[in-house]
């Protein structure tokens, strides 16, 4: 339009389109809120109405902040981009040595950096390295199919019997790997706890041994009994650690 000017640093001028203008929509919202206020409070908003306007504003801003945070959380957890990426990933078939690109104009076998059973991260990284060669994501609607031995899965396009079997293999392999990782994590945590407990008991045994050597009479006998109890418990604990493969 003639006469429109831009200052240095301004954003581009707005693109004229057929959408209703925002000012009209805001005016309509204000009129609606006025009617709601009259119905709720018996009057439109007026000055000197006995209320603390600054407090009202503050509380409304707090509510607005809560709604904004709610929207951000919900948006971050359900973005179309994330779903489209997952949909695309589910179209790749997994063989014993490679992923296979599902694109009809490609079909390339994509070697991974791992051997079966695959870690999910290994498959994911290899998939998206290859997708970069196709200039990124092509989002396509997925369908839910029943994968033998696994259950429902989202796939893109047609999934034949062989493809379903391959998908079932990689899902079950990833599940087994996850279980093994959890077991290993549990063993590590148990080992660390037992080692800390052993160190604590060994310290107490050393204290009783020193006390036994310097004391006499009943005190020395009690220290000797406590020392032997700690020694026996430590011995049994060492057997447990040995069974876990922890060298002492």
In the structure encoding, which two tokens stand for residue 219, read together? 């005190």
CB-CB contact of 156 with 102 (8 Å): yes
Residues 19-22: contacts with CB under 8 Å, at least 24 apart: none
CA nearest to 110, candidates 120, 99, 121? 99
* Per-residue pLDDT in tens (0 to 9) along the chain, 248 residues: 556 677 777 888 888 888 889 999 999 999 999 999 899 989 999 999 999 999 988 888 888 888 888 888 777 666 555 666 666 666 666 555 567 777 777 777 776 655 555 555 666 777 777 777 776 554 444 556 666 666 666 555 566 677 667 666 766 777 677 777 777 788 888 888 888 888 888 888 888 888 878 877 788 888 888 888 888 888 888 888 888 777 66
In the structure encoding, which two tokens stand for residue 13, read together? 């001028």
pLDDT recorded at residue 139: 44
**Whole-angstrom distance, CA of residue 90 vs CA of residue 86:** 6
pLDDT recorded at residue 192: 84
Residues 6 or more apart whose CB falls under 8 angstroms from that of 144 comprise: 152, 153, 154, 155
Residue 149 Ramachandran class (φ > 0 left, ψ -120 to 50 alpha, else beta): left
CB-CB contact of 232 with 214 (8 Å): no
Residues forming a β-bridge with 93: 100
Radius of gyration of the chain measured on its C-alpha atoms: 35
């Amino acid at each position: 339009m003639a006469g429109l000017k831009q200052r240095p640093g301004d954003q581009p001028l707005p693109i004229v389109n057929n959408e209703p203008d925002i000012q009209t929509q805001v005016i309509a919202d204000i009129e609606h809120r006025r009617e709601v206020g009259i119905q709720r409070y018996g009057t439109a908003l007026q000055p000197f109405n006995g209320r603390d306007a600054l407090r009202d504003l503050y509380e409304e801003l707090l509510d607005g902040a809560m709604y904004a945070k709610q929207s951000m959380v919900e948006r971050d957890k359900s973005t179309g981009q994330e779903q489209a990426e997952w949909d695309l990933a589910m179209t790749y078939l997994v063989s014993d040595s490679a992923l296979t690109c599902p694109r009809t104009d490609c079909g390339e076998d994509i070697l991974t950096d791992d051997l079966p059973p695959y870690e999910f991260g290994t498959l994911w990284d290899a998939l998206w390295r290859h997708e970069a060669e196709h200039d990124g994501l092509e989002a396509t609607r997925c369908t839910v199919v029943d994968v033998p031995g696994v259950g429902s899965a989202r796939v893109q396009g047609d999934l034949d019997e062989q493809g379903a079997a391959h998908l079932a293999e990689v899902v079950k392999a990833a599940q087994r790997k996850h279980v093994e990782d959890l077991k290993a994590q549990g063993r590590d945590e148990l080992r660390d706890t037992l080692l800390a407990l052993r160190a604590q008991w060994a310290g107490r045994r050393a204290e009783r041994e020193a006390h036994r050597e310097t004391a006499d009479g009943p005190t020395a006998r009690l220290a000797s009994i406590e020392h032997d109890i700690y020694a026996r418990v430590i011995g049994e604990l060492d057997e447990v650690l040995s069974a876990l493969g922890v060298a002492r």
